[in-house]
Structure 1
Amino acid sequence: MTHQTITEPEVPGLVTVEPVSSLSDIPEHSWDDVADPRDMFQSRAWLRTLERSGDAPVTYLIARQPGHPRILGALPLYDSLPSRGDYLYWPELHFQDLLHAAGADGRLGLLAGSRAGFGTRLIVDRTLPGPARAAVLDALRDAARAVAADRGLPYTFFLFLDASAWRDLAPVVRDGDHHRLASVAQTELELPGDDFEDYLATLPRNTRTSVRREVGVFARDCATETVPLREAIATVAPMIVNVRARHGMAYGVDTVARRLSAYASALGDASAMAVLCRVRGRTAGAGVMCRWHDRLYVTDFGRLDDEAPDPFVYFNAAIYEPVRHAYATGLSSVVTGAGAELGKARRGSAVLPLVHLAWATAGGHPERRADTAPAENRKEHWRRLRGAHPRYFHPVWDELL
């Protein structure tokens, strides 16, 4: 157990961090009091489902004041399993320079966070003032380093941190740590007004004309059906694998099916759905949608890996149909996910940066200087893209570029 002093009057005294092996040991109301209610991937239901799936061993670090039941912050720590080739949860893939510097072929560290894949946010009491939050995170950091050191691992990794989480973690970043921009960005679409026409009205005239054409051509050749995700996993998982393979990502159907099953189990049929796009009666593409409170997450897209016609299936399955569904169910925004950022931005989404972070275990990080070229190349990529399309990029990019 580690300790960190908080001097803020709102949270006097020490912060202790206790490792627990299961959320079944944490009362639901205690977890929900600290988790962001708008973030599906922080919810106890989501994390407990992952835990029960046994996909990766997990330890939860729970920060409290001594003798107080209130949770101030929490940090799930997962074993990284690189042999599965899943880029969402494989830290070493995003830090190849550290892997090469260490001269290792296996794991470099633990994976911290919710294993959500995109837009990772921190589980920390948002009512605490900044210095108090930093003290809680510092205590969690010390505990994570102790767990990593005990397992002989040089790093603890966060993947796909959003800008808010990165700002919160910046005060506890130290010498030996590494961070870099992700190669993908989060995209989110706030929904104006009451229906799809209100969404269209926010787009520039040329884009609005293009969207109407994409919707019209799609409707002429395709039909859509929204079904509970649970009923469509066997159909959707191979199509997601096909799309990932086109982009050089080594996925297995079983890996994707397990993740989709976790969505369905955690959220239920009313909130974990698949949009099936049928071209002349055959399912040619699909989008996966997860509802959580007033947000709709588009988590995956898949399509057939053949020469089937593709009359704008992607944008209809990943944007237009989810937007229609969100309006119909009274939601405020659609999280359109990562990848294809420019296409999503042209259709109204904000492009928000994501950051990867490696916390060094004390005395455990490789001494040989790592190659920083890949990280600099990634940053230059985003500079060029923002320079060509400044209107799509939020000012939060300034602090990272």
Structure 2
Amino acid sequence: MATTCPVISRISGVRSLDPAVWRRLTADGPHFYASLPWLAAQEDFSGQPQRLLVAEQDGAVTAVLPYAVPDREFNPFYEPRALWGERAPAADGLIHLGVGRGYDNPVLLEASPEGERGELVAALANEVGRLVAETGRPAVAQYVRATATDTVAALLGGTAVTVVPVGLNAVIRLPGTGFDDYLRALPGSRASRRRKIGYERRRFEAAGYHVGCEKLRDCRDELAPLLVQLQHKHGQSATTESTARLLGSQAEHLDGIVFTCRRDGDLLGFSLVYPWHDALHVRMAGFDYPRLAGAFEYFNLTTYLPIDHAYRHGLREVHLGMESYRAKLLRGAVLAPTITLLGPGAVDDPDGLRAAAWRRAAAWENEIHDTAGAFTITGVFKEAGACPNG
């Protein structure tokens, strides 16, 4: 039990902290995006050190709160105005709490759960308030898990916090010991789903690809052109050069696994995944679309091969990320809500912003029959009036 008041310091660079501290911070498993290898890769790619608020009590680090003060945001999924229009503040006018990137944002990392949590959160909230005053920027926390909303609201000041839905993370939880157990556990019309998945796997196997499981460091130079094809197909802007740099930075720090399909040695499709504790995180995919056989390459590379791999290595979950909700639900995923919290002064018209955010969420109704229900949670989220029925 901590006996002294928390002392908060500001540190620049994730490698400024002892790796043993990071191991304690992420020991419970869910926080891949707060791991030292992931954050070091992000630092190297951006060229900017990660900023950290570090709390110490009795000579030991008890918590870390990452934050960023960006000059520009290139990813539209992290740009509030790209998500919700002019009622939202621009990313470059905000302090961003948490690790950023990954669409699953652990904001407060506690290395000593038995510590005085209330006192710790209050001390960090005071330091966030000082950052807001110094920079003239309100604070925001994006892609926060529902279970963390009350803590994050407290870090933002606890009052006048605007809370809006932002996305849903899809996770396939793996029962039993093999792919047949996964199939048997599928909800709904299981027989038809099993037949569909079996058909998609057989078509892929019959397409004549050479299917491999490769290390990112060995094939990273081949991936960028295919990833860019996928991004352009979905209306995203990306260059081969910047994508190659991103992959290179991750290859230097992370033990990435790449599921590949090749023909005559040429790479035609891939998915990039990262194992972390008992889960596999599917991060990227790419395809040479004109040369594909049309054999359900996407689902085999991003879902079925990762599930097979997870079972073989004793992993219990496959994290598929956001978007394409209907396809992921049909393959047994469960959806976990993520939200954005904007601190005092960030939003001029909270009611208008909430309405815009729910209009965006309503666009998923053809994939998710009860979008509002998917975001029904307790705590500050409900109290803030984010749910139109809440």
Q: Fold match, TM over 0.5? A: yes
Give the letter aligned to residue 143 of structure 2: F
Tell me which residue corresponds to 1:220.
206
Tell me which residue corresponds to 2:336.
352
Tell me which residue corresponds to 1:254.
241
Which string of whole-angstrom CA distances, capped at 9 and with x for unpartnered residues, describes residues 46-74 of structure 1? Answer: 22333344433431110223xx2222221
Structure 2 unaligned residues grouped into runs of 5+: none
Say which SS state the counterpart of residue 277 (structure 1) adopts.
strand
Tell me which residue corresponds to 2:51.
59
Give the letter aligned to residue 377 of structure 1: R
Give the letter aligned to residue 278 of structure 1: R
CA drift of 1:185 comes to: 1.4
Q: How does 1:119-198 map to 2 (within 5 A)?
A: 119-125=104-110, 128=113, 132-153=116-137, 155-172=138-155, 174-182=158-166, 184-198=167-181
From the superposition, tell whether residues 228 and 319 of structure 1 become closer, same or farther in structure 2 (CA, over 3 Å): same
CA drift of 1:384 comes to: 6.8
- For residues 255 and 291 of structure 1, what CA distance do their matches in structure 2 show? 24
Q: Which of 352, 359, 367 is equivalent to 1:371?
A: 352
Tell me which residue corresponds to 1:73.
63
CA drift of 1:137 comes to: 3.1
From the superposition, tell whether residues 279 and 186 of structure 1 become closer, same or farther in structure 2 (CA, over 3 Å): farther
From the superposition, tell whether residues 378 and 199 of structure 1 become closer, same or farther in structure 2 (CA, over 3 Å): same
Tell me which residue corresponds to 2:39.
47
Q: What is the aligned residue count?
A: 375
- Give the % identical residues: 22
- For residues 266 and 252 of structure 1, what CA distance do their matches in structure 2 show? 22
- For residues 328 and 179 of structure 1, what CA distance do their matches in structure 2 show? 40
**Is 1:110 paired with 2:95?**
yes
CA drift of 1:199 comes to: 1.4
Give the letter aligned to residue 206 of structure 2: R
TM-score (norm 2): 0.84
- For residues 97 and 19 of structure 2, what CA distance do their matches in structure 1 show? 21
**Is 1:318 paired with 2:302?**
yes
CA drift of 1:79 comes to: 3.4
Tell me which residue corresponds to 2:86.
97
Contact 2:107 2:141 in 1 (8 A): no
- For residues 347 and 317 of structure 2, what CA distance do their matches in structure 1 show? 43
Contact 1:21 1:60 in 2 (8 A): yes
Q: Which of 218, 221, 232 is equivalent to 1:234?
A: 221
- For residues 315 and 36 of structure 1, what CA distance do their matches in structure 2 show? 31
- For residues 333 and 95 of structure 1, what CA distance do their matches in structure 2 show? 31
Give the letter aligned to residue 107 of structure 1: D
Tell me which residue corresponds to 1:201.
184
- For residues 393 and 94 of structure 1, what CA distance do their matches in structure 2 show? 19
Give the letter aligned to residue 125 of structure 1: E
Give the letter aligned to residue 71 of structure 1: V
Tell me which residue corresponds to 1:87.
76
- For residues 90 and 216 of structure 1, what CA distance do their matches in structure 2 show? 41
CA drift of 1:250 comes to: 2.3
CA drift of 1:20 comes to: 0.8
Once structures 1 and 2 are overlaid, which stretch shifts more, 111-120 or 254-263?
254-263
**Is 1:28 paired with 2:19?**
yes
CA drift of 1:12 comes to: 4.5
Which string of whole-angstrom CA distances, capped at 9 and with x for unpartnered residues, describes residues 141-168 of structure 1? Answer: 3323422432332x22222112222243
- For residues 125 and 10 of structure 2, what CA distance do their matches in structure 1 show? 13
Say which SS state the counterpart of residue 185 (structure 1) adopts.
strand
Say which SS state the counterpart of residue 293 (structure 2) adopts.
coil
Tell me which residue corresponds to 1:341.
325
- For residues 236 and 121 of structure 2, what CA distance do their matches in structure 1 show? 33
TM-score (norm 1): 0.82
